[in-house]
Amino acid sequence: MVKALILCSVSLSLLLLFQLFSICGNAKNTKLVPALYIFGDSTVDAGNNNNLSTTARAISLPYGIDFNHTATGRFTNGLTVPDYFARFLGLPFAPPYMNLSELERRTTTTGLNFASASSGILPETGSFTGSPLTLDNQTDLFKITAKTLDVQNIKVHLAKSIFFISIGSNDYIMNYRNIASKMNKLFSPDYFAKFLTEELVKRLKKLYLIGARKFVVTGLGPVGCIPAIAKSTPHEGDCAESFNQALLSYNKELFMKLSKLQSQLYGSFFVHTDTFKFLHELKENKEKYGITDTQNACWDGKHDPCAVVVLTSHQYALP
Could you list the residues that contact ligand NAG (CB under 6 A)?
Answer: 47, 50-51, 67-68, 72-73, 95-96, 99, 133-134, 137
Name the minimum Å distance from CB 88 to ligand NAG. 14
Q: For residue 135, give the nearest of 117, 122, 147, 118 by alpha carbon.
A: 122
Name the minimum Å distance from CB 27 to ligand NAG. 17
Instruction: Kindly list the distances between the CA atom of residue 62 and the CA atoms of 231, 269, 290, in Å, as whole numbers in the listed order.
Output: 21, 37, 19
Contacts (Cβ under 8 Å, ≥6 apart) of 42: 56, 58, 75, 115, 117, 118, 170, 308, 309
Name the minimum Å distance from CB 134 to ligand NAG. 6
Q: For residue 47, give the nearest of 63, 69, 68 by alpha carbon.
A: 63
CB 243 within 8 A of CB 223: yes
Q: Closest CB to ligand NAG among 49 and 294?
A: 49
Name the minimum Å distance from CB 218 to ligand NAG. 21
Residue facing ligand NAG at closest CB distance: 47
Q: Closest CB to ligand NAG among 124 and 300?
A: 124
- Alpha helical stretches, state H, the chain: 2-9, 14-20, 81-89, 102-107, 135-148, 154-160, 169-170, 177-182, 189-210, 227-232, 241-264, 275-284, 313-317
Q: Closest CB to ligand NAG among 134 and 268?
A: 134
In this structure, how many other beta carbons lie within 10 angstroms of the beta carbon of residue 136?
Answer: 15
In this structure, how many other beta carbons lie within 10 angstroms of the beta carbon of residue 228?
Answer: 13
3-state secondary structure of 96: strand
CA 7, 281, 24: angle at the middle one, nearest 5? 25
Q: What is the CA radius of gyration of the chain?
A: 19
Q: Closest CB to ligand NAG among 69 and 182?
A: 69
Q: Closest CB to ligand NAG among 34 and 73?
A: 73
Name the minimum Å distance from CB 51 to ligand NAG. 4
Q: Mutual orientation of helices 135-148 and 189-210 as an angle, nearest 10°?
A: 10
Q: Closest CB to ligand NAG among 11 and 101?
A: 101
3-state secondary structure of 123: coil
Q: Closest CB to ligand NAG among 57 and 213?
A: 57
Name the minimum Å distance from CB 124 to ligand NAG. 11
Name the minimum Å distance from CB 64 to ligand NAG. 9
Q: Closest CB to ligand NAG among 96 and 168?
A: 96
Q: Mutual orientation of helices 241-264 and 189-210 as an angle, nearest 10°?
A: 40
Task: Give first-to-last CA distance, the chain, whole Å.
Answer: 28
Name the minimum Å distance from CB 117 to ligand NAG. 12
